Structure 1
Amino acid sequence: MYARPWQRVNDFYLNIVRANLSLPLLFGAQTLVVDHNDTGIAALSGSSELESVASEDRSGRWARTTFKIILSYHGGSFDGWQKQPGLNTVQSIVEGSLGKFVDEKKTQLLKDKGLPIEGCAIVAGRTDKGVTGLQQVCSFYTWKKDVKPRDIEDAINHAAPGKLRVISVSEVSRVFHPNFSAKWRRYLYIFPLTNGGYTDQSSDNGEFYDSFKYNEIHDSASKDELENEKKSYAFSISKVNRLLRKLEGKLLSYKMFARDTKASRNDGPPTECFVYHARAMEVKLPATDHGEETNVMCVELVANRFLRKMVRVLVATSIREAAAGAEDDALIKLMDATCRRATAPPAPPDGLCLVDVGYTEFEPQKCFILIE
């Protein structure tokens, strides 16, 4: 079994969180460097938004101030976003840091209930343990006066230095909701390639292949899922790209690509997702302290929403189908499957990061992977 250098992926994400590296630089000249101050994740703190609040009688709910917080955190340093007893989660640290900004009425209410004095952070999308958030968006509101964005930034930055960093804090309209206001989310999955990878010399474009064993790419496959998957395979990155591109511009049900949710249900959130962008390409992670670059496959996915573990299942399934020589529409056909065992178990969380969340219309030219 080939050993995947996942630690190098973890280190790469950690360096981005610490602002030592920039994600767009990974993709070279073919990528436009996105200025997030005026595009996808722009804060809804323009004058028109704030004026709509200021013009109202600021009493009751209107008297509160809402802040939009953009965070960067290293997935390998936390037990996921969602607060859970006894676990080191991003939400628990952020909300603990916001406690000093809670208004007096809520503070007294929490004290009366014997609860810790914490703020409430609403997030654009919860990430699992091991998944990095590069520009996660959350909001916090308070009736306390004279709370400044810089105060919030400093409080959170002191909570877990080197692992959690505030990118920006801005005052926004009270109608802003990190999740419901979002028009799209962008994820990136970095899959490290092994020394078993090789260039097909018979191919005109020098197509890169990588060898793997099926059960190597999954973190939680059951025995019966893997019992017939012991042999080694080789997959083409350009084939993975062709498989993924078939998803673009389509509204499809991804229930077969979700995990930890009911495969068939009559209530709850819908399973349809509109994928704007789905591409894969080979890049190199920057040299380590030992001077070694790492070949990786990057998968970039942009959609209006994502189901639980959907990105990781899509990555693993596209690799499996590429190795099997499936038709380019193989992922589309799997949408009609009746059992989730038709899709692959999720790839490890180490390679996944939430890149950003968009509150304006999606612009394809701002994506990282622009190859056809």
Structure 2
Amino acid sequence: MLAKFRPLMATSPKTKAAPAVAFSTAAERDGYAQYNHTDACQHLRWTSRESYEYMYARPWSRVVDFYATLVHTGAGTAGLAELFGKDQKDHASATNGEEPLTSSEKQMPVKSSKGRGGRWERANFKIVLSYHGGSFDGWQKQPGLNTIQGLVEKHLGQFVDERKAKQLQDRSLPVEGCATVAGRTDKGVTALQQVCSFYTWRKDVQPSDIKDTINEAAPDKINSLVVSEVSREFHPNFSAKWRRYLYIFPLDDDAKSISGDEQSSIMLKNPEYNIASRSFDVAKVDKILRQLEGKMLSYKMFARDTQASRSAGPATECFMFHSRAAVTKLYSADENCKEGMTVMCVELVANRFLRKMVRVLVSTTVREAAAGADEDVLLNLMEATCRRATAPPAPAEGLCLVDVGYEEFNEQRCFIVD
């Protein structure tokens, strides 16, 4: 399945050289350098502006509605399993006969803290949440914004112990709980099984009380799937062994049936071809992404909103367990829209992700697949020194945090497998 793109410039000779950085007078005056590729696909790549315009011109409303339905029903990963024709039973297990929960989300045992005073006497609760990204301004609490963390902590305030409540009141602060999360999500990003934790000195708080309170915060927009008491040693971020993201990218149903490899080959061999590829092959996207699997790599070129000087070394290294792409049909709950929309799904599982890393990986891989670049193009881009070598982030509306794992990664639980 292919996706259309706008025509670009003429092709360059089929020679392969190392990437370079070119300076113009205006660029030097503005204090930055524009990154230029110097391989055979140099003039076949979309510019940053063209990539941005095309990405945001997709029919994202269908994807947003699909995610909203999953959150409203509390289906979790079982709802995505149906999208790929998987057995929902393999991606969900019943808890109290109602909540869907993957094996990685099962309650961690409460270790005994007998003989250990201080913070070990506090009750620690693990909360599995689903929320609709389009209804909030991201996870992290910020003044004047409607965030998931701000809403959750506000409603957790009724479970705060008296000592902490008095401390907050003495400082003229609202009485709120403190929610620690497995990973912050940006504005527009949906989560199906996000994990956070909350602790309190009170002994009368029950998991069901916390669950009911959160569900009353914003019905249909945020859903507390499971709340369980866990060991004080549990930390939703540091205890996690992997995170799984899914990106749904709408495709053009009327795209031509020529593959990215074939079309790029034609253009490189024929100088009279003065337009770049207007389509990409999802199979090529899959081949490029597979090159990342099983490797510990630095993804600083794919990170955004971080200082380049502080994005070096282990802090930018991630181990990619699983990275695949596939085509499927996205069906709407609207009875007037019975035909499914063809979409490309990108599934990524890693021990950690950098800010906007998934969205930049998706947009860059699509750009390179359309240009007919080699399968190791992402590995080569990691050696660049300028983040303009990668494409602008894809829209947040297509991204979903599927779940967080606290057990060893099992590839058979993934949606896109051989």
Shift in alpha-carbon separation, 1:60–1:20, aligned structure 2, 3 A: closer
Q: Give the equivalent residue in structure 1 for 2:172.
A: 114
What CA distance in whole angstroms lies between the structure 2 residues aligned with 1:268 and 1:113?
40
Aligned partners of 1:42 and 1:358 also within 8 Å? no
Structure 2 CA distance, aligned partners of 1:38 and 1:232? Answer: 41
Instruction: Give the AA of the match of 2:403.
Output: D
Alignment of 1:240-251 (within 5 A): 240-251=285-296
- In the TM superposition, residue 312 of structure 1 has moved relative to its aligned partner by 0.2
User: 5 Å matches for 1:275-294?
Assistant: 275-289=320-334, 290=336, 291-294=338-341
Q: Which residue of 2 aligns with 1:346?
A: 393
CA–CA distance in 2 between the matches of 1:233 and 1:162? 39
1:216 alignment partner in structure 2: none
Deviation at 1:23, TM superposition (A): 1.2
Counterpart position of 1:15: 69
CA RMSD of aligned residues (A): 2.2
What amino acid sits opposite 2:218 in the alignment? A
Distance in 2 of aligned mates of 1:121 and 1:340: 33
- 32-41 or 58-67: bigger deviation: 32-41
Select which of 225, 232, 254 maps to 2:299. Answer: 254
Aligned to 1:189: 247
What is the identity, as a one-letter code, of the residue corresponding to 2:185? T
Within the candidate set 278, 281, 284, 1:236 is matched to 281
The change in CA–CA distance for 1:137 and 1:268 in structure 2 (over 3 A counts) is: farther
**1:52 has 2:138 as partner:** no
SS at match of 2:84: helix
In 2, the alpha carbon distance for the partners of 1:147 and 1:254 equals: 42
2:77 is equivalent to residue 25 of structure 1: no
Aligned to 1:34: 91
Displacement after TM superposition at 1:33 (Å): 2.9
Offset of 1:59 from its aligned partner? 3.7
Offset, 1:322: 0.2
Task: Look up the match of 1:313.
Answer: 360
CA drift at 1:366: 0.8
Once the two structures are superposed, residues 294-347 of structure 1 have per-residue CA deviations (whole angstroms, 9 ceiling, x without a partner) of 111000000000000000000000000000000011111111011000011100
How big is each residue's C-alpha offset from its partner over 1:271-293, in whole Å with a ceiling of 9 and x where there is no partner? 00000000000011113412231
Secondary structure at 2:85's aligned position in 1? helix
Could you tell me whether the CA contact under 8 Å between 1:149 and 1:169 is conserved in 2? yes
Match of residue 6, structure 1, among 60, 70, 75: 60
Unaligned runs of 5+ residues in structure 1 are 210-229
Distance 1:28 1:198, change over 3 A: farther
Q: Deviations over 1:193-228 (max 9, x none)?
A: 12442434xx7xxx9x9xxxxxxxxxxxxxxxxxxx
Whole-angstrom CA distance in 2 between matches of 1:99 and 1:40: 28
Q: Amino acid of the residue matched to residue 42 of structure 1?
A: K
- What SS class does the counterpart of residue 264 from structure 1 fall into? helix
Give the number of the structure whose alpha-carbon radius of gyration is greater. Answer: 2
Measure the CA separation in 2 of the matches of 1:268 and 1:245: 23
Question: Aligned with 1:332: secondary structure?
Answer: helix
* Cα separation, 2, equivalents of 1:313 and 1:187: 13
Aligned partners of 1:31 and 1:179: how far apart in 2? 27
2:133, 2:102 → 1: CA distance? 27
Q: What secondary structure does 1:314 align onto?
A: helix
1:43 is aligned, of 77, 101, 107, to 107
The normalised TM-score by structure 1 is 0.86
Query: Partner letter of residue 274 of structure 1?
Result: F
Deviation at residue 269 of structure 1 after TM alignment? 6.6
CA offset at residue 266 of structure 1? 7.3
The SS at the match of 2:366 is helix
Structure 1 CA distance for aligned equivalents of residues 175 and 163 of structure 2 = 11
Report the equivalent of 2:36.
Answer: none
Structure 1 position 263, deviation (Å): 2.1
Q: Distance in 2 between matches of 1:232 and 1:267?
A: 35
Q: Counterpart of 2:195?
A: 137
Contact 1:286 1:294 in 2 (8 A): yes
Instruction: Give the secondary structure class of the aligned counterpart of 1:287.
Output: coil
1:224 alignment counterpart: none
Distance 2:374 2:88 in 1: 29
Cα deviation, 1:135-164, whole Å, max 9, x if unaligned, reads 000000000121000000000000000000
Relative distance call for 1:262 and 1:32 in structure 2 (3 A) is farther
Among 80, 84, 88, the residue aligned to 2:146: 88
1:162 partner SS? coil
Task: Compare 128-137 and 15-24 and name the one that shifted more.
Answer: 15-24
| 1:247–1:30 distance in 2 versus 1, CA, 3 Å | farther
Would the alpha carbon gap of residues 90 and 266 (structure 1) be closer, same or farther in structure 2, given more than 3 Å must change? closer
Report the CA distance between 1:51 and its aligned residue: 3.9
Counterpart of 1:168 in structure 2: which amino acid? V
The alpha carbon displacement at 1:58 in A equals 5.7
**1:52 to partner: Cα distance:** 2.7
Residue 313 and residue 30 in structure 1: after superposition, are their counterparts in 2 closer, same or farther (change >3 A)?
farther
> Structure 2 unaligned runs (5+)?
1-5, 7-53, 94-100, 264-274
In structure 2, the CA distance between the partners of 1:269 and 1:67, relative to structure 1 (3 Å rule), is farther
For the residue of structure 2 that corresponds to 1:270, the secondary structure is helix
Q: Percent of aligned pairs with the same residue?
A: 63
CA–CA distance in structure 2, aligned partners of residues 141 and 30 of structure 1: 36
Distance 1:30 1:250, change over 3 A: farther
Alignment check: 8 A CA contact 1:32 1:366 kept: no
* Residues 239, 38 of structure 1: alpha-carbon distance in 2 compared, 3 angstrom cutoff: closer
